[in-house]
Structure 1
């Protein structure tokens, strides 16, 4: 049972890292290069779509990592899982305090109602997102290392 929990947790966090990495380094650069209002409209749509999915994914990943740490408390590598769970907590806190407020504004924007500083707000979101991606990559790396220990 513990083996299944370890694999499911690692795969789920790995997929989350892949999605968030793709948003940071593929999707948003593509959207930023689109002409006129297309990029802003794409980011608004992405904010609505991923804004509904990602909270569930982050919380589920954290819950699974915590369950792994509890279920495998006496196993080698549990310390790595605990640190990974702590990093996932940091990513959730970052999301709630820094990224979600900007996303909640941005997902409602259209070319007609967006604020003057919308690009600056999107750039701020991107900077926070880069940090969050680094945090979840570190968490994923620790989970993989825990599997190998």
Structure 2
């Protein structure tokens, strides 16, 4: 049963990392290159869509990792799993304090109500997101190492 939990957790966390990596290094660069307000419209729509799903994915991933750590407490690699959980907690804190406030503002923007500093706010979100991606990639790597 523990093996099934480990594999399921790796898959769920790995998919989350893949989505966030794609947003950072594929989707947003594509949207930023579009003419006019097309990229902004894409980002606001993405902010609404992913903003509705990602909280459950982050918390669900953390719950799975915590369950793995508890269920496998006396098994090899538990320290790595606990470290991965700590990184996922950090990613949730970063999200709540740094990224969500910007996302909540951005998802309401239209070409008619854009603040003057909207590009600066999007760039700030991107920088915070790069750091968050690095944190969750590290958590995923720790989980993979614990499984090996």
TM value normalised by structure 1: 0.99
Match in the other structure for 2:19: 19
Mapped partners of 1:4, 1:59: distance in 2: 19
Instruction: Provide the rounded CA distance (Å) in 1 between the counterparts of 2:37 and 2:133.
Output: 27
State the match for 2:41 in structure 1: 41
Deviation at 1:51, TM superposition (A): 0.2
1:4-83 matches, within 5 Å, as 4-83=4-83
Which structure 2 residues correspond to residues 131-142 of structure 1 after superposition, within 5 A?
131-142=131-142
**Cα offset, 1:22, TM superposition:** 0.2
1:100 aligns with 2:100: yes
**Superposed structure 1 runs of 4+ greater than 2 Å apart:** none
Match of 1:146 in 2: 146
**Shift in Å, 1:99:** 0.2
Q: CA RMSD in A?
A: 0.3
1:82-93 equivalences under 5 Å are 82-93=82-93
TM-fit CA distance, 1:114: 1.2
**In the aligned structure 2, how far is the partner of 1:104 from the partner of 1:5?**
34
Question: Equivalents in 2 of 1:92, 1:125: separation in Å?
Answer: 15
Can you give the 5+ residue segments of structure 2 that lack an aligned partner in the other structure? Answer: none
1:59-114 per-position Cα deviation (integer Å, ceiling 9, x unaligned): 00000000000000000000000000000000000000000000000000000011
Structure 2: distance between partners of 1:43 and 1:25:
14
- 2: distance between equivalents of 1:134 and 1:7? 22
